[in-house]
Structure 1
């Protein structure tokens, strides 16, 4: 069989680059996407193509180009995303729209673009990179949690809808990993005199410290590689430190108020 062809959104850095580099080393034909490939003139880990997940036309153009060249598309990894923090009450509406366009609508457009080819060729795999934060509403990260939670639910639904096509749909939910996400994250401003001022500023520091002390993104790449090579992968695949994954188990078994108290204690709220 020919080498599997993989398309990774947001492949120029962070988790996306780690996944692409790892899969390329295993012999996969890898295409990563970025909004502007010219910003990465020395990038040679794998091929970068222009794609903006908020632009349906650019999605169609990139997917069609890859299929025209390779005659197939075996794996889509929806990795492109942005971070956002802020009090629900004070986060600007345009930033709420942007994070949903990028983290939720974008992956949906990507899935719709690749499914006809995967169905035509009799199979494929779609892996959505969500987040452990998508399993719970986190204080001052409510919109980020909401986008990743929504993508996780779409993953569950699409998985059932496509089971007769030979297409597997799963999600990989990373915890905290060392990436450049903090640099691109939108922070609603800490407003002087805001009723959230002190606690929000404190939470931002906590979030940044968690990312800085996070794990190696190669762990996410290894999880993706394992899923690609499984005939029946699980729908939910959390990846992260033991306590981060254990928190998901606790959420299932603890009363809501007890779990909420654990989160409040963690963020010192």
Structure 2
């Protein structure tokens, strides 16, 4: 997938007008996906940890008017995050089942930010939207199970990799294929052709598909009657990129 994407980015780069100010960029993201934490017995069972992703692509100035510029980008983004869930179910007298689950999520997107950029010198600030199309979405889950009975404890670990787009357990993609985010950031000069791009983004649209977003607790306790969750999940990230201009 990345090999074919690199070819596409190169073709788009060379098809832009010769007068356009072009650049290439790449860097890291620290972020994750969050929403309304699921509850069990009146307590929240979920927590979110940040994870490191990455992005790379091309950038071009499509309009320039004195201190204002309109920049467009085409990026390949790998947005990552970690979700933890811990709960204990008491199925009967002298019995208990504790579950500690960790989901390591990786969502890859083809993104097109359109950024209004302000500043007369080398230092610039910008703001604008980005539209992203989901290419892949996977989750590596690790479930640490502890079964408690009168005879003692029995511990086991279940690991699984889930395709959140094509898995048979979902009627359609669990993650929405189209995503819109708001971006704000600054360009800091490092050298005549090199800048540091620091950006904060936050999704505006719901990341998860409400028609497939079902309760984690219900999957364990009542798999024949799993209820949908009515919440909104958002992705937030802090990016740091090096931008090399031509």
- Under a length normalisation based on structure 2, what TM-score does the superposition of the two structures give? 0.30
Structure with a larger share of its residues in helix: 1
Could you say which structure has the larger radius of gyration?
Answer: 2
Whichever structure has more strand as a proportion of its residues is 2
